[in-house]
A and B are shown apart, each in its own frame.
Chain A
Amino acid sequence: MKVKRDQVTGLALILVGIVFAVLISQFKTPFTPEYPGPKLLPGIAVFGLIVCGAGVFVKGCLQKEADTPVLTGKGLIRVLITFAVLCLYILGMKFLGFLIVTPFIVFGITTYFAKASSVETKLWVRIVFSLAVTFVIWGMYVVLFGMTLPEGLLFG
């Protein structure tokens, strides 16, 4: 039998609900009918998650045909690669700062997005675009509105 999307979603919601229920049980202020205290809001959320998770799971079991997956294997790899690049970007900003890392990351992502979409873009266009995006964003935040962007541990 093929596992359906809603079955997985339902089980995941129930699991999250149970984990948070355990965490809520460790709160010091007691829950009483006269005054529910800090357990009230997360308690409602956890109850809702478990009930809805069960509902989604049952709906998935009753479903005759499986849903089309939102992301196929190739799509998921694309998402994971972009996600990893953005995490590296944050790490890069920590050490080298916004102005140094951003053009390389924008160039990299633009190239990857275009290649993955089977589109030919000119190298100089991507270079100019990467520099323009970096300086426009830096100008907007730092020069125009007086905010700070990461300067990097090595240069800050």
Chain B
Amino acid sequence: MLENLPYIISTIIQPLNLVLMVAGTIVGIIFGAIPGLSGTMAVMLFMPLTYTMDHGTAIIFLLALWIGGCSGAFIGSVLLGIPGSASAVATCWDGHPMAQKGQASKALAIGMTASFVGTFFSAIIGGLLAEKVADFAFAMGPWEYASLCLVAMTMVLAISKGNMFKGLAASCIGLLLASVGFSPIDAEPRFVFGNMYLMGGLGMIVVLTGIFAVSHILVTFGKGFSQPPEVTKEGLKGFGLKGKDIMEELPNILRSFLIGLGIGFLPGMGSGLSNLVAYSSAKNASKHPEEYGHGAAGGIWAPEVANNAAIGGAMIPMAALGIPGDSTTALLIGALTIHGLEMGPMVFKNSGNVVYLMFFTVAVVALLVFLIQCITKRWFPYILKVPSWFMYPALLIICLASAYVDSGNLYKCGMMMVFCAVGVLMEMGGLPSSPLILAFILGPIMEKNMLRAFQNTGTWTTFFTRPVSCVLMVLAILCIFSPILKALLGKLKKNKQPANS
């Protein structure tokens, strides 16, 4: 690992890379802070800009956008009581009440410090563990890879409350979209209708920007923009946090960090779940659980450390296995493939320096985010007051420019509008978009490995006779049926209670 240090440092200190790192971080924080936008959307919109960059520069820029977005999400939660993204939902429950008590500065300082702790240390641990996981991955065959992809897709369903059919349907739409173009191994054209633009498959930017970004903007407008919100500005002076405050919360920080790292590592899950689990654990372990929900410091530390620790956790399977931990790492895998870097165990042999650059960049960006947030804290309220009628038209133009740059022709812009219509219809039908993203990215990997597995043994039973593959397959099946199992268990518990009483 240390032999890569000269490459890492020489790449990071290049002036262009430093400028892009700062710019990406600032843009990421803004996207993270504004409810409705997110770091994932920032990565998606600006990804085509990286096509002309060398891979080191592209990695630095995209990671800065992602980390900035993850970290900035708490700003909306604290100052508005509306989470910037799903990763900061639990931060609202204590962050906003604390701000309303006139302690906005302290709430923001906790968010900033917790974000830094979570991201920085998870990147270090991720960097240390990733190669070990990759060594283990060498023993995995196509059966295990295919099963792992299936687990990643189905785990999203396990956490979609009361939405199993819809989540699964969204995954299936993602798989259908991933099928367009020539099939792997057999090279048979699928759903191309003789159209040359479809033969290479649907582009990631075109599909995801259309379904995820353009349709989201249109539906938000359709529902009606809200007026720029009233933001808590009181008590924003000073850093607001003392060393003693941090020491008091050390057990909570450590527990939340481990929760975030572990959940981030699980394929398909990420910061959206980790913040909720960490919050409830912190509340259960607290000596004063009654303070939670009324501005307890522990209620901000826990979700913010956990959702940022999920970053390093999610990067381990991304680098070592080529399997994304969440939708943003799925996008990053796609972006890195465009740059000729195929993630997976071989990446450490072929481009180990690039993988360590990724982890090192995350740690550096975590520090940069902290510094930028310390300097700009007093301006946070203004980010949240950007009027939607100015912001969204500009974003729409960026979406269309991204689609054009991605392919070099306007046909793909038209295709993006088709996917925008699909996204609007999905929203109207209540279908979630995250399972679609994961399935669209993971579908081709899963198919390639499944077909290879069938080529090797000629039977599906091998998926259940190989121990690791069997465990993963059973896990995937359990995830699919988890909402039904949960409901059954709940009923059983209810039935037992009256019998006991």
Give me the interface of A with B, judged by CB distance under 8 Å.
5-6, 8-9, 12-13, 16, 20, 23, 27-29, 33-38, 40-42, 44-46, 48-49, 52-53, 55-56, 59, 67, 69-71, 75-76, 78-79, 82-83, 86-87, 89-90, 93-94, 98, 102, 105-106, 109-110, 113-114, 116-117, 119, 121, 129, 133-134, 137, 140-141, 145-150
Q: Which residues in B have their C-beta under 8 angstroms from that of A145?
A: 49, 52-53
A selection of 6 A-B contacts at a CB cut-off of 8 Å is A35-B454, A44-B172, A44-B175, A70-B430, A145-B49, A145-B53
Q: Which residues in A have their C-beta under 8 angstroms from that of B166?
A: 9, 52, 56
Contact flags B30-56 to A (C-beta < 8 A → 1, else 0): 000000000000000000110111000
Of A5, A41, A117, which is within 8 A of B178 by CB?
Answer: A41
Give me the interface of B with A, judged by CB distance under 8 Å.
48-49, 51-53, 164-166, 168-169, 171-173, 175-176, 178-179, 183, 186, 188, 190-191, 214, 218-219, 221-225, 227, 387-390, 392-394, 396-398, 400-401, 404-405, 408, 410, 413-414, 417, 420-421, 424-425, 427-431, 443-444, 446-447, 450-451, 454-455, 458-460
Q: Say whether, besides A9-B429, A33-B459, A48 and B169 are in contact (CB < 8 Å).
A: yes
B169, A90: Cβ atoms under 8 Å?
A: no
Q: Which residues in A have their C-beta under 8 angstroms from that of B398?
A: 137
Smallest Cβ-Cβ distance to A138: which chain B residue: B401
B394, A147: Cβ atoms under 8 Å?
A: no
CA of A78 to CA of B172, assembled, Å: 29
Q: Which residues in A have their C-beta under 8 angstroms from that of B397?
A: 102, 105-106, 133-134, 137
A14 to chain B, nearest CB (A): 10
Q: Which residues in B have their C-beta under 8 angstroms from that of A44?
A: 172, 175
CA of A134 to CA of B400, assembled, Å: 12
Q: Say whether, besides A56-B166, A102-B397, A90 and B388 are in contact (CB < 8 Å).
A: no
Chain A CB within 10 Å, residue with most, of B171, B218, B408:
B218
CA of A16 to CA of B190, assembled, Å: 16
B172, A48: Cβ atoms under 8 Å?
A: yes
Q: Which residues in B have their C-beta under 8 angstroms from that of A13?
A: 169
Interface of A is mostly: helix
A79, B222: Cβ atoms under 8 Å?
A: yes
Of B223, B401, B444, B446, which is within 8 A of A141 by CB?
Answer: B401
Q: Which residues in B have their C-beta under 8 angstroms from that of A70?
A: 219, 222-223, 427-428, 430
Q: Say whether, besides A40-B450, A76-B222, A86-B400, A110 and B390 are in contact (CB < 8 Å).
A: yes
Q: Say whether, besides A29-B188, A147-B405, A149-B404, A49 and B176 are in contact (CB < 8 Å).
A: yes
Q: Which residues in B have their C-beta under 8 angstroms from that of A40?
A: 447, 450-451
B388, A49: Cβ atoms under 8 Å?
A: no
Q: Which residues in B have their C-beta under 8 angstroms from that of A114?
A: 387, 389
A52, B172: Cβ atoms under 8 Å?
A: yes
Smallest Cβ-Cβ distance to B50: which chain A residue: A145
Q: Which residues in B have their C-beta under 8 angstroms from that of A106?
A: 393-394, 397
Of A12, A38, A56, A148, which is within 8 A of B183 by CB?
Answer: A38
A83, B218: Cβ atoms under 8 Å?
A: yes
B451, A129: Cβ atoms under 8 Å?
A: no
CA of A55 to CA of B227, assembled, Å: 39
B165, A59: Cβ atoms under 8 Å?
A: yes
Seed contacts A40-B451, A87-B414, A137-B401; 8 additional CB < 8 Å A-B pairs = A6-B430, A35-B451, A35-B458, A41-B175, A41-B447, A45-B175, A83-B424, A113-B392
CA of A102 to CA of B408, assembled, Å: 17
A41, B186: Cβ atoms under 8 Å?
A: no
Q: Which residues in B have their C-beta under 8 angstroms from that of A53?
A: 169
CA of A147 to CA of B404, assembled, Å: 10
Q: Which residues in B have their C-beta under 8 angstroms from that of A9?
A: 166, 429-431
A41, B179: Cβ atoms under 8 Å?
A: yes
B392, A49: Cβ atoms under 8 Å?
A: no
Smallest Cβ-Cβ distance to A133: which chain B residue: B394
Q: Which residues in A have their C-beta under 8 angstroms from that of B218?
A: 79, 82-83
A67, B430: Cβ atoms under 8 Å?
A: yes
B169, A52: Cβ atoms under 8 Å?
A: yes
A82 to chain B, nearest CB (A): 5
Of A71, A141, A150, which is within 8 A of B410 by CB?
Answer: A150
CA of A23 to CA of B49, assembled, Å: 36
Q: Say whether, besides A79-B221, A113-B392, A45 and B49 are in contact (CB < 8 Å).
A: no
Smallest Cβ-Cβ distance to A9: which chain B residue: B429
Of B408, B421, B428, B450, which is within 8 A of A71 by CB?
Answer: B428
B190, A56: Cβ atoms under 8 Å?
A: no
Q: Which residues in A have their C-beta under 8 angstroms from that of B424?
A: 79, 83
B175, A78: Cβ atoms under 8 Å?
A: no
A117, B175: Cβ atoms under 8 Å?
A: no
Q: Which residues in B have their C-beta under 8 angstroms from that of A105?
A: 397
Q: Which residues in A have their C-beta under 8 angstroms from that of B188?
A: 27-29, 37-38
CA of A82 to CA of B223, assembled, Å: 13
CA of A83 to CA of B164, assembled, Å: 30
Q: Say whether, besides A35-B454, A70-B223, A105-B397, A41 and B417 are in contact (CB < 8 Å).
A: no
Q: Say whether, besides A78-B221, A141-B401, A42 and B430 are in contact (CB < 8 Å).
A: no
CA of A127 to CA of B446, assembled, Å: 50
CA of A62 to CA of B420, assembled, Å: 31
CA of A37 to CA of B172, assembled, Å: 18
Of A69, A90, A119, which is within 8 A of B414 by CB?
Answer: A90
Of B176, B401, B451, which is within 8 A of A98 by CB?
Answer: B401
A58 to chain B, nearest CB (A): 9
Q: Which residues in B have their C-beta under 8 angstroms from that of A48?
A: 168-169, 171-172, 175
Q: Which residues in A have their C-beta under 8 angstroms from that of B219?
A: 70-71, 79
CA of A90 to CA of B188, assembled, Å: 32
Q: Say whether, besides A83-B417, A105-B397, A145-B49, A42 and B390 are in contact (CB < 8 Å).
A: no
A34, B165: Cβ atoms under 8 Å?
A: no
A119, B387: Cβ atoms under 8 Å?
A: yes
Smallest Cβ-Cβ distance to B171: which chain A residue: A48
Q: Which residues in B have their C-beta under 8 angstroms from that of A76?
A: 222
CA of A49 to CA of B175, assembled, Å: 10
